[in-house]
Chain A
Amino acid sequence: MTTLDTGGPPAGDLVGPEEPPARPDRVRTVVRGIGELLITAGLVVLLFVVYEVYVTDIVSAGKQREATSQLDTEWNDEAPAAPEQQRVERFDGLGEGAGFAKMHIPSFGADYAFTIIEGTTERSLEIGPGHYKGTAYPGEPGNFAVAGHRVGKGAPFNDIDLLNSCDAIVVETRFNWFVYRMLPKKDEVGGWADGKGTDPRCQGVAPLGGPYTGLVGQQIVNPSQGTVIAPIPGQAGDAPSVGERATLMTLTTCHPRFSDRQRLIVHAVLVKQWAKDPTKPGETPPELKETS
């Protein structure tokens, strides 16, 4: 930019060269300064995009790795030859930011796995998908609700708009595998029984009845509609007694991408539970192979 700085009087100036015109030079300096500031501001905004989309990914990947290895240690360490009765999940006393389960979505690829973190604060969501405090835990009757970033910060829920009904969301806890499957979408509910419902993968998935009538697999709501994570999604009040609750899982993320105007919601229902066999560590449920 120094090349522009000729230092001489502006061209076409009628004042003679022996009387240096101070004024136009100052104007030029000010205008150039403003221009440079604007260019700088543009570069800073571009840099922010790079930060938001790439840099936060790198930072979050490290935190997610840390949380996963911590969870692995926890699961391996405190696993003495426990008799069958003691192999019960314990989720009480989980601190904000602590990992307690892993989620797999096989249709996103065999390597799609995230450790789910307790709590939905900014800090927790930076580590991985966060469990809404107060909602059910994996496998419990009620609504196991999880929020995740769609852009940057590891973007665990980047593609959940591509989930189809019956796609498996497998939640691994210390002693169990819980297989949730996405509920029918709005346009599939009608002909479900002899339409998509005949797919062998859809076993156990059907439009829910009773108080759950009208609940579909994917919906887009306003940020203020917090009832999507209620035991009966969409209904704030009359929660049924625990025994009558369906066992659901709900994912929430921002919508449209790069905006927080709305929320994309995915509802799934528990169809199967596999208890981990202590004699066969490393055994995985067949649903994890549904990678197409």
Chain B
Amino acid sequence: MYGWIWRHLPGPTAVRVLTALVLVAGVVALLMLVVFPWVEPKLPFNQVTTQ
């Protein structure tokens, strides 16, 4: 999977490294800003009220 992505990144190694870092940052941002806030209330970690 990662090898495939690496092979399909264009440009010389330096550019590829940069693109890869941007991709990683994008995925982390997507997780932190969208996925985690959505999934968090559904998980049994942090319910503080009584019913």
Interface assignment of A147: CB less than 8 Å from any CB of chain B:
yes
Number of A-B contacts (CB under 8 A): 82
Q: Which 4 A-B pairs have the closest CB atoms?
A: A260-B47, A226-B50, A147-B49, A51-B36
Whether A263 contacts B1 in the complex (CB less than 8 A), given A44-B31, A122-B41, comes out as no
* B28 to A, closest residue via Cβ: A47
Interface assignment of B18: CB less than 8 Å from any CB of chain A:
no
From A47, A125, A226, A261, give the contact of B48 (CB < 8 A). A125
| Beta-carbon contact of B31 and A153 below 8 Å | no
| Beta-carbon contact of B3 and A263 below 8 Å | no
| Beta-carbon contact of B51 and A226 below 8 Å | yes
| Beta-carbon contact of B40 and A147 below 8 Å | no
| Beta-carbon contact of A260 and B45 below 8 Å | yes
How large, as a class, is the contact surface on chain A? 35 or more
Cβ proximity bits B17-37 to A, threshold 8 Å, 1 near / 0 not = 000000000001001100010
How many residues of chain B get a CB closer than 8 Å to chain A's CBs?
Answer: 19
**How distant is the Cα of A259 from the Cα of B47 in the complex, in angstroms?**
8
Cβ proximity bits A203-243 to B, threshold 8 Å, 1 near / 0 not = 00000000000000000010111101100000000000000
| Beta-carbon contact of B2 and A1 below 8 Å | yes
Interface assignment of A247: CB less than 8 Å from any CB of chain B:
no
Interface assignment of A152: CB less than 8 Å from any CB of chain B:
yes
**How distant is the Cα of A4 from the Cα of B2 in the complex, in angstroms?**
12
| Beta-carbon contact of B1 and A33 below 8 Å | yes
| Beta-carbon contact of B2 and A254 below 8 Å | no
* A153 to B, closest residue via Cβ: B46
Q: In the complex, given contacts A52-B36, A260-B47, what are 8 additional A-B residue pairs having Cβ atoms less than 8 angstroms apart?
A: A2-B2, A4-B3, A32-B1, A47-B36, A48-B36, A56-B40, A157-B48, A260-B46
Cβ proximity bits A237-272 to B, threshold 8 Å, 1 near / 0 not = 000000000000000111000111101000000000
Residue pairs across A and B with Cβ atoms less than 8 A apart, 8 shown, are A2-B7, A47-B31, A52-B36, A55-B32, A122-B41, A226-B50, A259-B45, A260-B45
**How distant is the Cα of A149 from the Cα of B45 in the complex, in angstroms?**
10
> CB-CB < 8 A to A125: which residues of B?
48-49
Interface assignment of B10: CB less than 8 Å from any CB of chain A:
no
Interface assignment of A150: CB less than 8 Å from any CB of chain B:
yes
From B32, B40, B48, give the contact of A253 (CB < 8 A). B48
From B6, B41, B48, give the contact of A150 (CB < 8 A). B48
| Beta-carbon contact of A254 and B1 below 8 Å | no
| Beta-carbon contact of B2 and A260 below 8 Å | no
From A2, A36, A56, A252, give the contact of B50 (CB < 8 A). A252
| Beta-carbon contact of A147 and B36 below 8 Å | no
Shortest distance in angstroms between A219's beta carbon and chain B's nearest beta carbon? 11
